[in-house]
Copies of this chain bind each other. A is one copy, B any other.
Amino acid sequence: MTESRVWSNAVLPTLGVIIAVTLWWLATAVFHIDPFYVPSPADVVETFFRTPGFLLQESWITIQRVLIGFAVAVTLGLVIAVVLGSSRTIERMALPVLAAVNAIPKVALAPLLLVWMGFGDSPKIVMVILVSFFPVIVSTMAGLTSTPADLHELARSLKASWWQTFVKVRLTWALPQVFVGLKVATPLAIIGAVIGEVVNPDHGLGSVIAGSSANSDTALAFVALVLLAVIGVVMFYLVAGLERLLVPWAKAISS
């Protein structure tokens, strides 16, 4: 039992990562890819260990921005989804505007943010929010409108207030779908932070990428990308873990 859980929760993922890294290695070796374009895993590791402290510090800055922005985006996304879900009129009016805003490439707005908010953390955090709130809205809305008719009727028959129905029935039922939104939003949040940091490379992995590409130091850029990937995986699994914790029943009633 526990052995098979270790197997599937630790060994298999690790194996997957190892296979992926090996493939990368083989690709660079077999096709003789110039390390300028794609450095080999060894180059990347070596480059990392040239300045591990610096890189981890920059990672930490990016992580903080991502976390703050993500938290705001999720809160905002949930609130907007709830507001849209509470009134069909508002939904009909606001959804096209949201879809429009979301289709605008945020990179194009980065200079504006810089002008308005200057340097520092805020424009990056705002970028994280802009990039990652929409999936939360869409998936939460889908979740909120998927309450089974009989549970909804139960709430009505108890004359539960809108808020009670929302908290005790609709939101809980929507949680598995909310988590889909969160899982999609996590990597977007990371990308948002990087966009903000590339536009104004003060700190963080985005500024490492900007700096290394200005120096055509591809290996360093790849180190930053790998660190971002690691952050992405960790955050993804944190979200997935939270889901397990909060929605254990969902697995039980489905197959």
Contacts and interface: CB of A to CB of B under 8 A. Distances in A.
13 contacts: A13-B92, A16-B92, A37-B112, A100-B229, A100-B230, A100-B232, A104-B232, A105-B190, A107-B198, A135-B184, A138-B180, A142-B177, A146-B176
Interface in A77-124: 88-89, 92-97, 99-108, 111-112, 115-116
A149 interface: yes
Nearest to A189: B103
Interface stretch (A40-48, A49-57, A67-75, A247-255): A247-255
Copies in the complex: 2
A95 B13 contact: yes
B134 A187 contact: yes
Given A16-B97, A95-B13, A112-B37, A180 B142 contact: yes
A115 B206 CA distance: 21
Interface of A is mostly: helix
Nearest to A19: B93
A191 B9 CA distance: 34
A95 B9 CA distance: 11
Given A8-B88, A20-B97, A145-B254, A105 B209 contact: yes
B221 A108 contact: yes
* Residue of A146, A194, A230 with most partner-chain B CB within 10 A: A146
A186 interface: yes
Given A9-B92, A108-B213, 20 more contacts: A8-B88, A12-B89, A13-B96, A38-B112, A96-B236, A99-B237, A100-B233, A102-B187, A103-B232, A104-B229, A107-B194, A108-B209, A108-B221, A134-B184, A135-B135, A139-B139, A142-B179, A149-B252, A149-B255, A177-B180
Given A8-B92, A149-B254, A105 B176 contact: no
Contacts of A233: 96, 99-100, 103
Interface string A201-234: 0000010010001000000010001001111110
Contacts of A112: 37-38
A147 interface: yes
A141 to B, nearest CB: 9
A107 B221 CA distance: 12
Nearest to A146: B254
